A = this chain, B = another copy of it.
């Protein structure tokens, strides 16, 4: 039977976030496998209330663990490395990455008590890592974090280029510039590129992407023209931006103070690994609070409106001894990720209440994206001349648009979403299987399945409220008529301003006094009848049917 060249996304294909991709090569069902990236995404009240982190369900990898040879991590962003510590125990294979990524990966493993000696640090191409039938090279790409890499994956069936996150930036401030000669080389070695698995994030942005370096002057002008304290926020992991911002602040004669644990950690790791040179010296929050306001620039976490991050704290009041005032300036040097608008706007309005002047990146002056735009993606198609293009790192609409772009250029392509297994050995992708993929939720300290019902029950309680009914049945199977009702998240009073709980209790008493023996003896029947009455009374009184939990306690004969 012919060998297959498998591509199987478990996360990141049909969403932006929680990247997790699998490649395989070998006889059908016996392919040797490698995993590329194990990232997280974040929950929200609409779909995952109370959930700390979301990641790909890797049950299929766990079931096929003996076929896996290695894990590769392209770069140190949370959506690529954030689940490493949480999921490694299910895979238990060596981890390969570059030095800076390795430092962050190490923290992820340590936090979860996983063995850090599983992390292997590699130099970029020309170093080659062998993993089963795969020969893998890390190839520097420009992005917004140091040592971002594409993977060149050579297999007996041909060469795969997995771009990871990238942009075409010749002057990226941090990290290696995009090097077209290097990529030309990669495209023209051997048989050339069989498959390009390519970032689709910005496929709808029609102008060519801009370099991080174009921000330096506008940011310097901005900081220089502010009269009081200047605060700027961006992603903690956007190390390029942190340096651009800090250098603008220093050039404008200000001291730099970093607020936010994630941001300080990134910079510390960057300096320790020797990746970040030339980062301006920073002062502590205590020192910043003592300085004249026009001599300080804060660079802070929370650009996406996160409630506990520094931006939100500063918008609410004093934070680490620093309080924003009338005439201070606050810059969002970031794009708001769709879905985070409410949180960002909340912060903006709270800052406005303090008299702080707001600046955002809407006109593009103070922010550039870390991802390739449509013309850049086209340029990469042209440069690499792949036989097949597989769009990745995008929601369905991004993947589909990218597929259409490739096909319009005559390159076979396919929208491959999480759980679809395609064989790339032939001239065009061919679907060969559909894996039960899904999501795992980190809830407190426990990993639960997205479909376990936990989150469904939370959403239902949030939408409908929760009525609790306790019924006691005596030794002779006679329910005591005085059931007890407690309401959570429900109006106390119903129509005519009578307490809803008393109303339900009265109706239940009437029912329990007359209940037939068959129902009284059967927990399921009794529970169902009690639930039904509770919901009916609620509907009449308050116009909605709550979730109902019934606890039936049967007294044992003594």
Contacts and interface: CB of A to CB of B under 8 A. Distances in A.
Interface of A: 14, 44-46, 49-50, 338-339, 341-342, 345, 348-353, 355, 358, 395-397, 400, 443-446, 448, 452, 454-455, 457-459, 461-466, 468, 470, 472, 480, 484, 486, 488-495, 542-544, 547, 549, 551, 553, 555
Contacts of A454: 465, 489-491
A493 B447 CA distance: 10
A341 B395 CA distance: 14
B543 A446 contact: yes
Nearest to A463: B50
A549 B488 contact: yes
Nearest to A349: B396
Contacts of A463: 49-50, 458
A180 to B, nearest CB: 30
A348 B401 CA distance: 12
A397 B468 CA distance: 43
* Interface of chain A, main secondary structure: mixed
Contacts of A345: 338-339, 395
A542 B444 contact: yes
B468 A551 contact: yes
Contacts of A448: 491
A446 B491 contact: yes
30 contacts: A14-B349, A44-B46, A44-B342, A45-B46, A49-B463, A50-B544, A339-B345, A345-B395, A349-B395, A352-B397, A353-B396, A355-B400, A443-B491, A443-B543, A445-B542, A446-B491, A446-B543, A452-B491, A454-B465, A454-B489, A457-B488, A458-B465, A461-B461, A461-B488, A461-B489, A470-B551, A472-B555, A488-B549, A551-B551, A555-B555
A397 B358 contact: yes
A484 B553 contact: yes
A455 B491 CA distance: 9
A470 B554 CA distance: 12
Contacts of A338: 341-342, 345
Contacts of A49: 45, 459, 462-463
A201 to B, nearest CB: 13
A542 B486 contact: no
Contacts of A542: 443-446
Nearest to A445: B543
A130 B514 CA distance: 63
A355 to B, nearest CB: 8
A461 to B, nearest CB: 4
Nearest to A204: B362
Given A49-B459, A49-B463, A352-B400, 17 more contacts: A45-B462, A50-B464, A348-B397, A353-B396, A445-B495, A445-B544, A455-B489, A457-B488, A458-B488, A459-B462, A461-B461, A461-B466, A461-B489, A466-B488, A472-B553, A484-B553, A551-B551
A358 B49 CA distance: 30
B491 A549 contact: no
Contacts of A489: 50, 454-455, 457-458, 461
B465 A46 contact: no
A462 B396 contact: no
Contacts of A492: 452
Contacts of A547: 488
